[in-house]
Amino acid sequence: MILHVANPIYDSVFKYIMSDERISKTILSALLKKEVVKVEMRPHEYVNTTRDTLSMFRIDFAATVREKDAEGEGFKDRVILIELQKTWLDTETLRFRQYLGAQYSNKINIRKDSPKGFAYPMVAVYLLGHRVGDIEEPVVYVNHDVFDYNGEVVEEGKEDPFVESLTHNSIIVQIPRLKGRVNNRLEKVLSVFDQSRKDAEDKQVLNIDENKYEDDADMMYMLHRLTAAAADSEMRQDMNVEDEYYKAIEDRDTAIMNRDKELKHKDEQLQQKSEQLQQKSEQLQQKSEQLQQKSEQLQQKSEQLQQKSEQLQQKSEQLQQKSEQLQQKSEQLQQKSEQLQQKSEQLNNIVKSLYSKGMNILQIAEITGINKDEVAAILN
């Protein structure tokens, strides 16, 4: 039986299922390849507080994982922090780093039972809606280790809290690389994010074959939650709002791309004109040399014609000067064009930086000296 479930690519749907402890334990256990016995969604102020962060959704978890003890004879539970960041646009890594930096400096992440102020070990999980270079695997693990001078792994004591407080492991998931792959437990869990299963007429819905999950109670539970989300009118409205925002972002990026093409075309035209002026200058130079030769020939015939020849020589020099002036003007125009382009980019960056720091359009207009309509146009 084919189920029509809500697409968890949407922030509203993703938050809805991750707020359910059973589902979050299912997903995190598969990602960590460890048994997660308890999950606590931690409060923070970094999740989608403005439109600009719509493309990057973040949730913090404190997860209690069950691991084998050092002797391998029993199990022990320990708490780790999971910083889960989801983005469906090709986002700069700086934004990921800034968020991780905030978590490293957050006192809430310091262990209360540690007199030395050690932090909980942390794992950063990135769910990406785009590909990462030439990496073919849909999920990759980036794990740190401890080495001595000779490059040998130091086994004894490498899980010391001092080490774990200053480094973290990462898990990178490339959603576009899933494409129906179900070769292990993790890929089975992540299959509900597979965008190749989108409904042909409604991208907010995925078509999932329920029969493939009948033997997995946790996955069936997740599918039923997603089915309920697809039927929820408020959830649908939130998804519509996200579609509108993404459409606005795409329109903005298209406008920027078209503007860049237009500027490049104008630069090419200026370059062509500069080359044409250079050719004319060379032609004038050639003509000047020809006139000089004729002048020398006429000098031999008559002193009167010599005077005319000198006049022609002067005119030739004037033409040369004009040619050089035209060349200089052409170079000046080229420099001004580049300066205007740089100033435009600098002004755009300043406006965006001020806006990201919480300034409104009127404040930015007052600081930069441009009118609010131009500020708004830069931010859209």
pLDDT reading at 272 higher than 60: yes
User: Does the residue 49 lie in any domain?
Assistant: yes
What is the value of pTM for the model shown? 0.56
Average pLDDT over residues 223-241: 86
Q: Which amino acid is at 117?
A: G
Distance in angstroms (rounded) separating the CA atoms of residues 314 and 292: 10
DSSP 378: H
Position 48 scores a pLDDT of 45
User: Does the residue 216 lie in any domain?
Assistant: yes
Question: What are φ and ψ of residue 78, in 5° steps?
Answer: -145, 155
pLDDT band at 50 (very low <50, low <70, confident <90, very high): very low
Burial 43-77 (b: 16+ CB within 10 A, else e): eeebeeeeeebbbbbbbbbbbebeeeeeeeeeeee
**Does 18 share its domain with 142?**
yes
Name which of 119-128, 130-139, 359-368 the model is least confident about. 119-128
DSSP states of 127-192 as a string?
EESS--TT---SEEEE----B-TTS-B--TTTT-HHHHHH--EEEEEEGGGTTT--SSHHHHHHGG
**Does 72 share its domain with 162?**
yes
Distance in angstroms (rounded) separating the CA atoms of residues 69 and 72: 5
Position 62 scores a pLDDT of 78
Q: pLDDT by residue (tens digit) across 105-117?
A: 566 655 566 656 5
User: Does the residue 137 lie in any domain?
Assistant: yes
Q: H-type helices in the chain, by residue range?
A: 11-18, 21-32, 93-105, 161-166, 185-190, 217-231, 233-301, 303-356, 361-368, 372-379
**Does 69 share its domain with 175?**
yes
Q: Which amino acid is at 69?
A: D
Position 336 scores a pLDDT of 92
**Does 218 share its domain with 260?**
no
User: Does the residue 278 lie in any domain?
Assistant: yes
**Does 310 share its domain with 261?**
yes
Q: Which amino acid is at 121?
A: P
**Does 160 share its domain with 265?**
no
- SS3 at position 40: strand
CB–CB of 146/153 below 8 Å?
A: yes
Position 116 scores a pLDDT of 64
Domain extent at residue 256: 251-351
**Does 284 share its domain with 203?**
no
- CA distances in angstroms from 126 to 23, 230, 256, 363, listed in the order given: 18, 25, 27, 35
Q: pLDDT by residue (tens digit) across 299-337?
A: 778 777 666 778 888 898 898 999 899 999 989 999 999
Task: State which of 231, 261, 292 marks the end of a domain.
Answer: 231
Position 335 scores a pLDDT of 92
Position 224 scores a pLDDT of 92
